[in-house]
Chains A and B, each alone.
Chain A
Amino acid sequence: MALKVLLVEDDRELRQTLRDALIVEGYEVVASGSVADASAVLKHAMSSENPLDLLVLDLGLPDGDGGDFLRLVRAQYALPILIVSARHDDVNKVNLLDAGADDYLVKPFSISELLARMRVTLRHRGTVVVAAQTYYQCAGLEIDLAKHTVLKAGQPVHLTPTEFKLLARLVRQVGQVVTHRQLLVDVWGAENVDQTQYLRLYMGQLRAKLEVNPTEPTLLLTEPGVGYRLVE
């Protein structure tokens, strides 16, 4: 059965274009242009036999704050949420990632970027209830969180406890962006939420140990102003 997407975007033209493009890709699409309408659609769809699989939410809606809608959705459903933001330096975007959105995309974007981000977000469907990822393998790097091992080209890599914790946090959400705040809270504790320098230092150390060229990483990517992403 086709995956069902709720697309909330207030611009009619863009909504239509995206809707058509997603249908071509085999998705079933319900489109909405306002918070009020989206809330009604959501309620109806989630109680139907064919509930939603993904929410694509634009932040600039005419009748309300996309953030309030996101919190409402998060409080009730484990539905993956992809945020669409109009600006790179949109603080709101980071706040919504912290509030439970799964990933984000900045306008303007191409359809292939949207599809790629949707696929990753869908793969993490139900991360809230289903166990998170504990094994990772990519480009000669092999990480087994259960066995507590990291291999680079078959050779064991020694990581400090903090380096391992940081890497493990990214592995659990592989492919998705993890915000600075989420990493600081989960690795160093809530009291260290503002100590961004810890992140810079330990990401540098991790890259030095795991990347071929730490300046141009291919696995541990930086999302400036937002967080980090482990490539899937």
Chain B
Amino acid sequence: MQQVCDLFGLEIERTQTLLLAQLAQTEAKSHLLRNTLLTSISHDYRTPLANLMGAASVIHDQAAKLSTEKVSDLAQTVLEEAQHLNRMTTNTLQLARLDASPLNVKKDWESLQEILGSVLSKARKRYQTRHILVEVPNNLPLIRCDAILLVQLFDNLIENAAKYSPEETAIEIKAVVLNDELVVRVMDEGPGISNAWKDKVFHAFERVHAEEAQADASEDNQLRRGMGVGLAVCMAIAKVHDAKLWVEDRLPHGAVMCLSLPVGIQPDLISES
């Protein structure tokens, strides 16, 4: 009897310790997330907000003294900055959501060709002057995924490629089936990512050119701001799909973002003759 009680007591103690450890871990994680979000606000939101406020206040205070074209230009700035903030907010919230409840993802049978098609129609409108080359075969296997999350992932990879490569160079997107994996590559002809940064780019608020960008507020660097959470969200989205996401070098120069999605057993399909 005594032994049973002892064992029982030990078991309770063990469970309690485990629970406490879990609690501490959850708390540490939520603390980290809170810090990440705060950094996001101070780091990445202030610039677009300042631009937006600047342009809007000029329109508001000085409209009478400005030409119609000038007002139109300023309104364009307001729109662009608002769109930029919208994308960042979507990414930041998604990161928080995936961090808090990674299992709460609604997966369905999806066609990667369709997902990429929807991403590309937006990308072509957004980067009208960029050359975007696409190679996606018909009849790819279906994958179990959350289409909205994958759209967000590819949006971010293309945005990243567009930001970190010269305007006149092409962005290439290729999808292939390799064994039981579906691999999508987003390639640019930018400076590429050094080995020291290949893992770090997927962590929130690490930026390849962060130090240079701070020292140099040139227009080129201005264009590159705000990828603080973009690739981190991509990684979080890849994880909830048991997919792998990594970066490779492109020769002679450039970065290749690779996403490898597992292809499971295909669903039953009725065929028609």
Contact = CB atoms under 8 A, between A and B. Distances in A.
Given A208-B138, A216-B134, A217-B117, A200 B79 contact: no
Contacts of A91: 106
B136 A215 contact: yes
A216 B121 contact: yes
Contacts of A119: none
Interface in B98-128: 106, 108-111, 113-118, 120-121, 124
Interface of A: 88-89, 91, 108, 110, 160-163, 195-198, 200-201, 203-204, 208, 214-217, 221-225
Contacts of B121: 216, 221
Nearest to B116: A215
Nearest to B268: A197
Given A89-B106, A161-B272, A197-B269, 4 more contacts: A201-B142, A201-B269, A204-B114, A217-B117
B86 interface: yes
14 contacts: A160-B272, A195-B267, A196-B110, A198-B270, A215-B116, A216-B121, A216-B134, A217-B117, A221-B121, A222-B114, A223-B118, A224-B114, A225-B146, A225-B147
Contact of A200 (B109, B138, B151): B109
A204 B134 contact: no
Contact of B148 (A160, A201, A224): A224
List the 9 closest A-B pairs by CB distance, nearest first.
Answer: A224-B147, A197-B109, A197-B267, A200-B111, A160-B272, A225-B148, A215-B136, A222-B114, A222-B118
A196 B117 contact: no
B110 A215 contact: no
Q: Which of B108, B113, B142, B146 has the most CB of A within 10 A?
A: B113
Contacts of A225: 146-148
B129 interface: no
B243 interface: no
Interface in B214-273: 267-270, 272
A202 B118 CA distance: 17
A216 B272 contact: no
Nearest to B94: A89
Contacts of B138: 204, 208, 214-215
Contacts, number: 71
Contact of A222 (B82, B117, B124): B117
Contact of A215 (B120, B147, B150, B269): B120
A88 B111 contact: no
B195 interface: no
A110 B108 CA distance: 30
Given A160-B272, A216-B117, A216-B134, A89 B111 contact: no
Contacts of A217: 117
Nearest to B151: A224
B139 interface: yes
A223 B270 CA distance: 24
Contact of A203 (B108, B111, B148, B272): B111
Nearest to B270: A198
Nearest to A224: B147
A170 B249 CA distance: 44
Interface string B73-88: 0000001001000100
B272 A162 contact: yes
Contact of B82 (A108, A161, A208): A108
Nearest to A194: B108
Nearest to B135: A215
B272 A214 contact: no
Given A197-B267, A200-B110, A204-B139, A215 B134 contact: yes
A198 B111 contact: no
Nearest to B110: A200
Contacts of A160: 272
Q: Which of A88, A201, A215, A223 has the most CB of B within 10 A?
A: A215
A108 B52 CA distance: 16
A225 B150 CA distance: 11
A203 B111 CA distance: 10
Contacts of B86: 108
